[in-house]
Chain A
Amino acid sequence: MAQAQAQGHVHGDHHHSVKRYTGIMDWLTTVDHKKIGILYLLAGGFFFGIGGIEAILIRLQLIKPMNNFVSAQVFNELITMHGTTMIFLGVMPIIFALMNAVIPLQIGARDVAFPFLNSLGFWTFLFGGILLNLSWVMGGAPDAGWTAYTPLSSEYSNSHGVDFYTIGLQIAGLGTLIGGINFLVTIITMRAPGMSYMRMPMFTWASFITSAMILFAFPAITVGLVLLSFDRILGANFFDVAAGGNPVLWQHIFWIFGHPEVYILILPAFGIISEVIPTFARKRLFGYSSMVFATILIAFLGFMVWAHHMFTTGLGPVANALFSIATMLIAVPTGIKIFNWLFTMWGGQITFTSSNLFAIGFIPTFVMGGVTGVMLASAPADYQYHDTYFVVAHFHYVIVGGLVFGLLSGLHYWWPKMFGRMLSEPIGKWTFWTFCIGFHLTFFVQHFLGLLGMQRRIVSYLPHQNFDTMNLISTIGALLMGVGILLFLYNIVVTSMKPMNAAADAWEDGRTLEWSIPSPPPEYNFKQTPLVRGIDAFWKEKMAGNKAMTPAEPVGSIHMPSPSILPFVMSLGLFIAGLGFMFSREDFSNSFMSFIFNNYLVLIIGLMITFGAMITRSLIDDPGYHIEPEEQEEEVRA
């Protein structure tokens, strides 16, 4: 197994020669979790930008009644791709970016458990995302909503859009599943000596629970996407009533995945907030063990509430009542968390950095989303709210007001650790205020639009229904949010031109292990694995008057995994195979194209590339390489 490992009893030759790449090849072949984190951030940020542009176009179409800025078909494609892109290709990868960048550092590890898989997870995600977005230029994007309800998605969507959805998400989902398993194993097996489960930082805990949810939830969507793509491409009948199938089955499968998915999104944000608030309040997190308990409880309940998305499907009063109660129960652990954050700030010495502003702004915003969540959980009332803008307002309050605030907080907080440069505080504060005000302008009024009866996913509306002004406000808010994100990008550009001089303990009040090592950390993170003597390990040492962590091992040569291009090749193969499968029943005018696609040649070639890379990986040993103590010294001096 190629993984970073403590030295001391390594046998045999230390000097395996390993090719070290530079430039673009370095990024294509890297298995370093810090670089993969940056790749996730770049790719996730790119897709987040695409999703954001789609959002702006949606809002421009709805700026006034009976607008014809885009056609109805394009509008359907925009809303579908906005939701799909934002969730699967935008925020999930940015979550993985932070998990990659931070978790090994927080638990005192030199890398993740499976560095090669880590890279594979990134590349499958990226190729899946590219495949999905190629739909815009290859005959039309998916247009059946991000939930792709059957029979709309299976029988009534005639372009290849939904095929791009099923295949693209299948490949991207593979990456997420791989990433989730990797972090589970990393957190279970690679914690530094002394770091028991109940001494893990809250972000690590949240990511651990999130990864477990990924492990259990993603197989459901995998199965669902297989069934849907077989229905569409191979003529199966899983969702076709006429042939004995059942379209409601898709809704169940989708939401058995989909509801845990929204907790997969929000739990890491909870973790980030639980790191940022104690740091900037200079106080230990209030109620740490209840925070852990609440996180586990939310994850557990999250698997038993999926049918609250389907109250109007006709499950019957008993099922609706049960799912109502289960859903409302989730408010209890979530409430515990909210109060714990408030009590953490209580009596603390709070500094309002831009990171902390996002964290503090998160609390009331998320509470508002939570309250509308409890309202929606009431089945009888849901008949009124269902598929209106009230729902749109609710889930944007929890996803944007919760998750995106959390991510922006985390990015401002860990930026010096990831890149060695402090983001500009004044621009950061401008980012927060424009984004926060823009956000509330956009979505607060949508509650009332929904209550007045404006349906979601409609391309236009008639004037004189009291919708006009609020839609205008909403669009102005969306533009302001766009300005906020542009300010953040501007901040990044300005910061990247400054010298790389962030201190190791960049905020001076760092509590967890990542702040005990240089910013950015050396390739091997910890020269000596630290000894953890309590919760908030680094803070504990500082309070005891120590400047650094107590090492748990002598200085020695460090074993590192070698870089590899194979993950990229495997993912490329899946990408080609996906395209081949999608167009296997297409009528091409060009006879060569019909020959290679209709005979499944493209599919086979793609799979051969992937399996060939897998066989190569299995047959050729990867001994990794060692960084000797002398080289470690050189790196520090450089």
Chain B
Amino acid sequence: MAGNEQQPQNQAVKHRHRTEGPQKHVVVFILSIVLTAIAFAAVAAGDVNPVFTIILLLVMAVIQVFVQMGYWMHLKDKGHLMPIIFMIGGFFVASTAIVMAIYWVWW
């Protein structure tokens, strides 16, 4: 790890993480698989209204992103404020560019 003053803090985070981790991670792991399974099932069912399928897929995807970011990328833990700020910033800038491209260039 880097920083001099951050070291004790980071160790504390790691330490707490070790004690409370496993059970939660199993739950989250199952949740991730269930979310994926729902998405596959919705497509495999076939005769569902496609609009419904697409919306369901998007909802599953959004939940999946938050689960993955929060638990596997540890963004829910303390000391991850900067990564969160920068991810939101990047999301903001990228979505501005995408909206621009769709709205002005190809609409």
Q: Are A248 and B105 in contact (CB under 8 A)?
A: yes
Q: What's the least CB distance linking B106 to chain A, in Å?
A: 7
Query: Is the pair A220, B97 in contact by a Cβ cutoff of 8 Å?
Result: yes
A246 close to B (CB within 8 Å): yes
Residue ID in chain B nearest A310 by CB atoms: B104
**In the complex, per-residue mask of A522-541: 1 if CB is within 8 Å of any chain B CB, else 0:** 00000001000000000000
Q: Which residue of A lies closest to B81 (CB)?
A: A188
- The reply to whether A189 and B3 form a contact with Cβ atoms under 8 Å apart is yes
A116 to chain B, nearest CB (A): 14
Q: Does B101 lie at the interface of the complex (its beta carbon under 8 Å from any beta carbon of A)?
A: yes
Residues of A within 8 A of B90 (CB): 215-216
Determine the chain A residues whose CB is within 8 A of the CB of B7 once the complex forms. 6
Q: How far is the CA of A216 from the CA of B92 in the complex (A)?
A: 10
B26 to chain A, nearest CB (A): 31
Q: Taking A216-B90, A216-B93, A246-B106 as contacts, is the C-beta distance between A552 and B4 under 8 angstroms?
A: yes
CB A558 to nearest CB in B, in angstroms, measures 12
Q: Report if A194 contacts B (CB, 8 A).
A: yes
Smallest beta-carbon distance A135→chain B, Å = 29
Residue in contact with A194 in the complex, picked from B1, B5, B104, B105, CB distance below 8 Å: B5
Say yes or no: A190 contacts B2, CB within 8 Å: yes
Partner of B3, one of A190, A256, A304: A190
Tell me if B's interface is mostly helix, strand, loop or mixed.
helix
A3 CA to B6 CA in the complex, in Å? 15
Q: Mark B81-107, 1 if CB is under 8 A from A, else 0.
A: 010001001101100110011001110
- Chain B residues near A458 (CB, 8 Å)? none
Q: Which residues of B contact A217 (CB under 8 A)?
A: 93
CB-CB under 8 A for A252 and B101, given A216-B93, A246-B106, A303-B96: yes
Residues on A with C-beta less than 8 A from B100 are 252, 256
B27 CB, nearest partner CB in chain A, Å: 31
Q: From known contacts A216-B89, A220-B97, A304-B96, infer whether A6 and B104 are also in contact, taking CB-CB under 8 Å.
A: no
* Chain B residues within 8 Å of chain A by Cβ, number: 20
Chain A residue nearest in CB terms to B85: A212
What string of 1s and 0s marks CB contacts (under 8 Å) between A103-146 and chain B? 00000000001000000000000000000000000000000000
Contact check, A193 vs B4: say whether CB atoms are below 8 A apart: yes
Beta-carbon contact of B2 and A315 below 8 Å:
no
A212 lies within 8 A of B101 (CB): no
A215–B86 touching, CB < 8 Å: yes
Contact check: which of A1, A5, A319 meets B104 at CB < 8 Å?
A: A319
Question: Is residue A236 contacting chain B, with contact meaning CB distance below 8 A?
Answer: no
User: Quick one: closest A residue to B6, CB to CB?
Assistant: A189
In the complex formed, the residue of A with least CB distance to B4 is: A6
- Rounded to whole Å, the gap between the CB of B16 and the closest CB of chain A is 20
A570 sits at the interface (CB 8 A):
no
Residues of B within 8 A of A3 (CB): 2
- Chain B residues near A220 (CB-CB < 8 A): 97
Specify which chain B residues have a CB less than 8 angstroms from the CB of A212 in the assembled complex.
86, 89
CB distance from A178 to the nearest CB of B (A): 16
User: Shortest Cβ distance from B86 into chain A, in angstroms?
Assistant: 7
Residues A205-230 near B (CB distance < 8 A): 212, 215-217, 220
A185 on interface, CB distance cutoff 8 Å: yes
**Is A192 on the interface with B (CB-CB < 8 A)?**
yes
CA distance A194 to B3 in the complex (A): 12
Give every chain A residue within 8 A of B106 (Cβ-Cβ). 246
Whole-angstrom CA separation of A133 from B6 in the bound complex: 44
- Bound together, the chains give a CA A553 to CA B3 distance in angstroms of 13
Asked if A33 CB lies within 8 Å of chain B CBs, one says no
How far is B100's CA from A315's CA once the two chains are assembled, in angstroms? 11
- Measured CA separation A191–B2 after assembly (Å): 10
Q: Is the pair A249, B105 in contact by a Cβ cutoff of 8 Å?
A: yes
Chain A residues, CB < 8 A from B1 = 189
Residues of A within 8 A of B92 (CB): 303
A188 to B106, CA, bound (A): 40
Residues of B contacting A553 with CB < 8 Å?
A: 4
Q: How far is the CB of B11 from chain A (nearest CB, A)?
A: 11
List CB contacts (< 8 Å) of B1-49 with chain A.
Answer: 1-7
Query: Within the assembled complex, what's the spacing in Å between the Cα atoms of A248 and B86?
Result: 29
- Enumerate chain B residues within 8 angstroms of A184, measured Cβ to Cβ: 86
- Least CB distance from B88 to A in Å reads 11
Contact between B5 and A192 (Cβ–Cβ < 8 Å)?
yes
Residues of A within 8 A of B86 (CB): 184, 212, 215
Q: List the A side residues contacting B96 at CB < 8 Å.
A: 256, 303-304
Chain B: minimal CB distance from A112 (Å): 10
Are A185 and B2 in contact (CB-based, < 8 A)? yes
User: Which A residues touch B104, using CB under 8 A?
Assistant: 248, 252, 315, 319
Determine the chain A residues whose CB is within 8 A of the CB of B105 once the complex forms. 246, 248-249, 252
A192 to B6, CA, bound (A): 9
Closest to B93 in A: A216
| A residues in contact with B97, CB < 8 Å | 220, 252-253, 256
Complex Cα gap A319–B4 (Å): 48
User: What residues of chain A lie closer than 8 Å to B89, measured between beta carbons?
Assistant: 212, 216
Contact of A249 among B2, B3, B82, B101 (CB under 8 A): B101
Encode contact with B along A1-41: 1 for CB under 8 Å, 0 otherwise. Answer: 10101100000000000000000000000000000000000
Q: How far is the CA of A189 from the CA of B83 in the complex (A)?
A: 12
A217–B6 Cα distance when bound, in Å, is 29
Pairwise interchain contact A193-B5, C-beta atoms closer than 8 A: yes
Jot down 9 A-B pairs with beta carbons below 8 A, ordered by A.
A1-B2, A5-B4, A189-B3, A193-B4, A193-B5, A215-B90, A220-B97, A248-B105, A256-B97
Closest 4 CB pairs of A and B: A189-B2, A189-B3, A193-B5, A216-B93
Q: Besides A190-B2, A553-B4, 10 other CB < 8 A contacts?
A: A1-B2, A5-B2, A188-B3, A194-B5, A215-B90, A248-B104, A252-B97, A256-B96, A304-B96, A315-B104
B-binding residues in A (CB < 8 A): 1, 3, 5-6, 113, 184-185, 188-194, 212, 215-217, 220, 246, 248-249, 252-253, 256, 303-304, 315, 319, 529, 552-553
